[in-house]
Structure 1
Amino acid sequence: MSEEHLAITVDSAPGASRRLVRCRLCGRPLTGADSRRTGLGPTCDAKLHPPVPDIRTRRHEVEQDPLPGLDPSVG
């Protein structure tokens, strides 16, 4: 028997109920595999780990004096 076959038969055993896992922050039952693995629901996970701000929204153009020796208008 391969390991894959064993995992399938164990997971699909009749009458096997999944253990109830609750969110560590709010206590609601977790149903998704990722949520059950981390112990946080998607809403609570977003509260604790906000998305990283996009650096492109923070950039802006500014007026600058040309560097000495690089001004093309000076002959």
Structure 2
Amino acid sequence: MGDEPLAIAIDSAPEEGPPRVCCRLCGRPLTGTDSRRTGLGPTCDAKLHPPGPDIRSRRHEVAQDSLPGFDQAP
């Protein structure tokens, strides 16, 4: 029993998960799938691609005169 080969090599490194991917801007390790795909973390991505202005907040009601011939109901 002492001469039988082992099923696994003792000096082999344990299998790790997916390869380590770091942010291209700050160098931190990325964990999310979207972050790993783009190569940027969420905070660095927000710095490089800020969201556009919300045009819905700029809308406002405009006071208008009533149309001629239409009486306003009391």
TM-score bucket of the superposed structures, by smaller chain: 0.5 to 0.7
Q: Which runs of 5+ in 1 are unaligned?
A: 1-13
| TM-score after normalising by structure 1 | 0.59
Sequence identity (%): 74
Runs of 4+ off more than 4 Å: none
| TM-score after normalising by structure 2 | 0.59
Task: Decide which structure has the larger Cα Rg and report it.
Answer: 2
Is 1:59 matched with 2:49? no
Coordinate RMSD, CA, aligned: 2.1
Task: Tell me the SS of whatever aligns to 1:57.
Answer: helix
Number of matched pairs: 57
Any idea what the Cα deviations from partners look like across 1:28-68, whole Å, max 9, x if unmatched? Answer: 111111111110001011111222332210101223455xx
